[in-house]
Structure 1
Amino acid sequence: MFSSFSFGELGTRGLPIDVANRLRRGQIRGTIEQMRVMLLGNTLFAPALSMNAWGQGRDGLVVLWTVAIVLFSWWIFYSWTTYYQTTGSEKDMRGFVIQTFFNSLFWTTGMALFYPVASGDQKAIITAIMAGSLALGTTGFSHAPWAGMTYLAVQTVGNALVALICGLTLGSSTDFLIFVLMIAAGVSLFNATLEGAKAARVAFNNHERLSEKSEVVELLLKDYEEQATEWLWQTDKNGHLLSAPAQVLEMCASQGGQTDSIDLVELLAANCTKAAEEDIRQLQQAFADKAEFHDVRLSIQSPVDGELRWILMKGRPQFERGAFQGFRGIFADATAAVVAERKVQFLASFDGLTALLNRNSIQKKLSELQADDHYAVALLVDLDGFKQVNDSYGHHIGDLLLKKVAERLQENTSENTWVARLGGDEFLVMMNRDEPISAAEISWTAQSICERVSQLAKVEDFVVQVSASIGVSRFPEDTRQGLELLSMSDMALYEAKNAGRDRITYFNAEIQNRLSERNTVIDRLKRAVRNGEIEPHYQSQHVLSDGRLTGFEALARWDDEVLGAVRPDVFISIAEQTGLIVELGEHLLRRACEDATQWAELMPKAPPVVSVNISPVQFARTDVTGLVSRVLHETGLPPELLEVEVTEGVLIASREKIAATLQELSELGVSIALDDFGTGYSSLSYLKDLPLNRLKIDQSFVKDLSRTASNPIVSTIVQLGHNLGLNVIAEGVEDQTDVDLLAELECDDGQGYLYSRAMTKEATSRYIAEIALQASQQ
């Protein structure tokens, strides 16, 4: 706020208004406090000057001037008492300086009236009196620099001019000398006044800085007192409080916070809860024994807000010359620490959202099961459709739904039935008995859970519904190791999910075998994908009317050294469930495009199109357009030689997103085929909205075609495709009869064993070379 200043900054320039007011108020008050000295000087000096001017022919002026200056001096003295209450405004300072000006003008007038008519010693005395008045006034106005300099300037200039004029008129060298002395005295006093003003300003600046720091320190101390969690207390030798923190007295409902005659132990004992009885006894014993104590934890129900608070207390006896004087110690607010400790203890055993047992608690209980005298059933419950609730209404609604499900699972549970939340939307209901549990009771409990969970639930402003899939395992029938119940129930739950959800599945050895096999497939599949062991095989596609080759469909094939040949319907579904399909799909697309590039060189006049399936998981997890564009660029395959196959199921999850992606692919020049039309979620709306080029008739419709020549489904699909301007290809063409019947129904193309089985890249290249050779010989 303050910096080094020049003469022009002795005033209030650059200061905030409140600081400037404080500076002016201090200057005015400091000057007024010196007015007694100045009043005494005016009262004595004025008559003294008058006496030396008496008898020089101006006695009337002498009397008039003397009376006027004395009365004026007393008047301004009394008027300045009102200024003492000033706020330090600029107006008050201007008035103060103006009065100072007239005060000094009175003295200069006296000099002008009486000095010219005086002579000899009288002139010397008058000069001395004026010098004394000048010095006394300057000293008196030293607290207010502008007032002091005004007083000094008027007297110095006025008195010096009087002496100079007299010297010029009378030719007296003494007058010239007095003129010089007056100027010298004025300059000297001016410098002294200026230095004093600077010193005063520095002192004021330092005081302001100190005040600012003091205010900050005071605020910090006050904030600390309000926010502190530790407070001092002290008692006399009788245990009566000498001092105590207001926070503790408020919790103990002490009247008005008074500490006089309050017994500390009695006060705490009267306000603590029963849980603190043992600590109170410890405290009483320490006071009786005059012994030091630590970590006495007291719980108090606050009368202010009814909340439970914890105070940690420690104290030490005080002795002076061997005489006991009382106790002194510290109260510490341990509420936050106790709450955190209890929360940690709670979360160690219970679920934070539903307050059910958590996985740790269940595992502990399972580990304690004894096969000789315990019977237990684990019902692992997983909510069907919970992800859609989260996606549609948000996780807040999902959490509230989980709490409702927890409440429903606890309904009608017996004392020996545990309910736990294992995580996410997975719950466990554990039936624990000391005698065998009947199949009827297990079935009734599981059915009851399914019914309660599937009831409509009102969650805030929404009505939501989910169902439950349950996996059941029994102890000791299925296992004699309690901890294995969870994994067995999980296996059964997996089967329930795969079987269509909203059902109950009991664990058996066959399930375990299937899951073991599946786990083996997953492990080998990860290795195969990582090493690129899954290769595309190709099945040819032909025009039905003349058998002309149009392209190939890339089909994934996996021959594992441990598992042997694994069916595509097995490893493709596992790859989709585990997310491996993303890496696998990119590998197959790249290989197919590389192979198709070579085949285009073998048949340059009519290069075959390669058709590659894109999984719904790929659409959901990757940028399919970016992937296809990148692979085409890197392999050099023209976009018109690539066909992307999608199934109807890909449109269900996010139709708008998929439609946009297919439009982008179409704009790249890639053809798009809808695979297995009629077997999934057929809808005419997406047939007209999507940029499709071809419909594929599923082989399940083609295999019975010979027995129903006028098959209405195949005929309808063909006509529908043609009406929409789409090419139609039939899968599963196995003999010439199929060709004839499909051609009769005006189907365009065919694919199946009649033409070729799925071939390796090398066999496909030879197949193309033979066709190219035959074409060249015709």
Structure 2
Amino acid sequence: MTEVEATGREQSRLNQLIENLDLSTSIIQNATEGIMLTDKKGRIISINKAFTSITGYRLTEVIGKPVDFFRSNQHSKDFYESVIRQVKDYGIWQGEINNIRKTGEIFPSWISIQPSKDSAGQTTNYIFYIRDISEIKYIETNLRQIAFQDPLTGLPNRSQFHSRLSHALELAKRNNQQVVVLYLDLDRFKVINDTYGHEKGDLLLKQVSERLISIARKNDTIARMGGDEFTVLLEGTSVDSIIGASTFAQKILSLFTYPFRIDNHEFYITSSIGISLYPNDGDDVTTLMKNSDMAMYRAKELGKNNFQFFSPELNERVHKQLDMEGYLRHAVDRNELRLEYLPIVNATTGEINSIEALLRWDNPELGRVFPDVFIPLAESTGLIVPIGDWVLETACQHLKKIHDAGWSNLKVSVNISGRQLERNTLVGTVKNALESSGLMPSSLILEITESLLMKNMKATRAILQELRSLGLGISIDDFGTGYSSLNSLMILPIDTLKIDKSFILEVTSNSQNLSLVQGIILIGHNLNLQVVAEGVENLEQANLLNTNGCDELQGYYFSKPLPLESLLDRLENTRGFIGQI
């Protein structure tokens, strides 16, 4: 009897093992990722259906073959050796590799490799997880092209111009050369645009760009900053002296001495130009751009249709900034700062899911100072660190009050500056803000701009991982303006992409903007990220974004930023729902 019972138990365990193996096989075969299993020498033992779908190869065609049979020639021998070393040393490798399909087509794939070991710790097999990222890479390439190029004129845009100026300054410093920046603004363009419509205004901007290109030399860069503003970069041998810059500026002015013909109309416009020079007027991109912009406004003050060099007199404005800095240093102590909150709603239902904290400053001497004025000043002086700490603490305290009032599902987003990220106190500051307010970490989202993430990927990733481990959310703000790569998005511990409002502004009228937004939404969802659209100003935009799968929306269509008490009233009056979708 005992032997029979033992045999029965053994058979039961065997049946359970078979069931588990069948279940594992089913899971592997139906996985959406391609899976390839090799022996310890790298010979293929098994593949799943997704692998066949991705590469075109059936099991009978690859079994027993070495794993490198579908490698492309686009990676070096050293690259593959480094992959093997990392798998052996660290037990895993993941990254992007270009492989070859059965058809001969080379395709980009995201691959993860892990060894499988027996009970003695000896490697018996290797498991390859393969994901075809062709579509995402295609979208990424298009996004990058759109991001660097002005869609209307085909000229380099602001970001591309800044990049070229930065490179020009590096060369100039090494070769002891000059660099000239000309900042050009069209006079009376707004009148024409408002009177005859945006279509004719756009055609006029195209003709202006064509005329500017006609006088450009090989080393010159002509760019459109946006609106009716253009910039010119003169570098290297194309610049002799101040006289050379003056000559080129005069050529630009002469372009506007004859009319622009559009349909049956003739338009006469002029331009105002500001000029700054390296090294006289600055040795970095920000300073040279700022000084040329100031000089351009001086040209407008002097009657337009002329050019002006940056001069010491314009530095009076800098002194005003110094006065502002003095006031800003005491803004926290004097209770001059306050927070307002911009609701972020579910794109389908209109329910408020979270709020973004926005900083405001009212000074007795200066009056209301706008964020785009004082925040850059706070960044440049380092004052953004104590101010940022205050914002974090206050936003957490305010959200706790909102939770206590019955809206416990709401989250708050707080923007983090570059200076805060660079210091090693940010994690401690966040912990203190959460503990002192009694707020759960899951209720806090930290927003970091895309351009900031790209500055020091390794250090930023480490800080974000530590912050994420606390249980809070991480969001990339102004996405689409910083040119992050697909790889960076895959390895960063993030939850949300926020599409920059500049792309939303014309999403209903500009097909390129719509394509860009659709691409960002697709990339976000492929990476299991939430996607939020900023700057939604009307129902048409809201409906279009919802149709294209955007998860959340924010903007003045739903609500202007609200003080805490007004926000509580709005939540109570709308029962947490806001705006028509």
Structure 1 length-normalised TM:
0.37
Structure with a larger share of its residues in helix: 1
Q: Relative contact order (alpha carbons < 8 A, sep ≥ 6): 1 or 2 greater?
A: 2
From the CA coordinates, give the structure whose radius of gyration is larger: 1
Instruction: Provide TM-score, normalisation by structure 2.
Output: 0.48
Judging by fraction of residues, say which structure has more strand: 2
